Amino acid sequence: MSKPKVGFYWCASCGGCEEAVVDLAEEILGVVEAVEIAFWPVAMDFKRADVEAMRDGELAVTFLNGAIRTSEQEEMAELMRRKSQVLIAFGSCSHLGGVPGLANLFDKEAIFENDYRTVPSVADGDGTRPLEETKVREGTLHLPAFRDTVRTLDQTVEVDYYLPGCPPPVRLVREALAAILAGKLPPKGAVLAPDVALCDECPRKPSKPDKLLIKEFKRPHQITLDPEECLLAQGLLCLGPATRSGCDAACISANMPCTGCLGPTGRVRDYGAKALSAIASGLDANVEEEIAALMDGVVDPVGTFYRYSLPASLMRRKVRPAVEGKEGERT
Ligand code: SF4
Ligand code: SF4
């Protein structure tokens, strides 16, 4: 009997999600035994033409990581969707936009102006920019179009499941593979991780006070941490109250606060708003000036509360300035 075919692909990604697959270590041998890896260009010599030659739905499952920024990534997302029975958004970037999604604070023009003209490491500064078409003696060279806005995978094509995390914890990858191989996937649209907040599985939960009284935000290098006490109670901005569990509190165990990579629990529409509200409810401040002074201690609020989820948020991106005859827009 032929084995089910599986694909892995990456879009706007750092490569960490591919490492998460490799982190299965020897368990990957069991996976290879049960499935045929039919497309994984990071690890093996596959070409886009190999997928194009497949019939629609030939891949049983595709794990696609990375956000969607360029025309090539849109094309690949559409191709993988067509060729896959089940498409899984793998990792924060694919799920919620991830760290590359913070670029939605700028548009293409601002990014190109900075990266190719004003950034100090550009030596000649002659303003040369990547072009979608370049004529050379041998013909025309093409580069993918760079879009204004970073999108999540499900803002591009229909997605069946989400494997959250930056990168997804090995335990969740293992459990998802087991569910796929046993044909026991939950209803379509599910996030393949527990639907409870991280605080519920955190070993420091017993020391988290019912009523937090945060007087000042501190950063990990500014204090000597108690290795047992709740980090939020010690003044570190830990986003465990707003973040889905499933990581076995790996960062907390290393004395680092949760930064929210597994995204929100199922009932939350906007992760950053939920995180902000969870933290705000623990402030020991009642009047506006006190609250503002305390929040001044949050370095980079967007990068803190929307680090992994700006494209998936209600805001999606910074509004473009209005131009004459046209309102500012967010698309
Ligand atoms: S989710 Fe994290 S590990 Fe995966 S590609 Fe994005 S930044 Fe890298
Ligand atoms: S706030 Fe952070 S350290 Fe405290 S219980 Fe929740 S996850 Fe653990």
Is 0.85 topped by the overall pTM? yes
Higher pLDDT pick, 121 / 273: 273
284 C-alpha to ligand 1 centroid (Å): 35
Q: In sequence order, which residues have a C-beta less than 8 Å from that of residue 168 and are 6 or more positions away?
A: 17, 20, 90, 91
Q: 291 CA distance to ligand 1 centroid (A)?
A: 33
Which bound ligand lies closest to the C-alpha atom of 239?
2
Distance between CA atoms of residues 219 and 313, nearest Å: 26
Taking alpha carbons only, the member of 78, 6, 87 closest to residue 40 is 6
C-alpha dist (Å) from residue 230 to 177, 234, 253: 33, 7, 11
Q: Does the C-beta of 275 come closer than 6 Å to ligand 2?
A: no
Q: Which atom of ligand 1 is nearest to the CA of 167?
A: 3
**DSSP strand pairing (133-136 vs 139-142):** antiparallel
Tell me the C-alpha to C-alpha distance, in Å, between residue 51 and each of 21, 94, 153.
Answer: 20, 20, 19
Say which range, 109-113, 125-129, 245-249, 266-270, has the weakest mean pLDDT: 125-129
pLDDT tens for each residue of 199-218: 999 999 999 999 899 999 99
- Dist. CA 8 → ligand 1 center (Å): 14
Q: Tell me if 147 CB under 6 Å of ligand 2.
A: no
CATH T-level topology, domain 5-99+150-181? Rossmann fold (3.40.50)
Residue 62 in contact with ligand 1 by CB distance below 6 A: no
The C-alpha atoms of residue 234 and residue 175 are separated, in whole angstroms, by 34
pLDDT at 330 (0 to 100): 65
Length of the chain: 331
pLDDT in tens, 43-55: 999 999 999 999 9
204 lines ligand 2 (CB under 6 A): yes
Beta carbon of 262 within 6 Å of any ligand 2 atom: no
Encode pLDDT of 60-107 as tens digits: 999 999 999 999 999 999 999 999 999 999 999 999 999 999 999 999
Give the ligand with the smallest distance to the CA of 235. 2
Atom 5, ligand 2: residue with shortest CA distance: 205
- Domains of the chain, by residue range, sit at 5-99+150-181, 110-147, 194-299
Six-digit token string for 8: 């892995």
What is the overall mean pLDDT for the chain?
93
The CB of 260 under 6 Å from ligand 2? The reply is: no
* Ligand closest to the CA atom of residue 250: 2
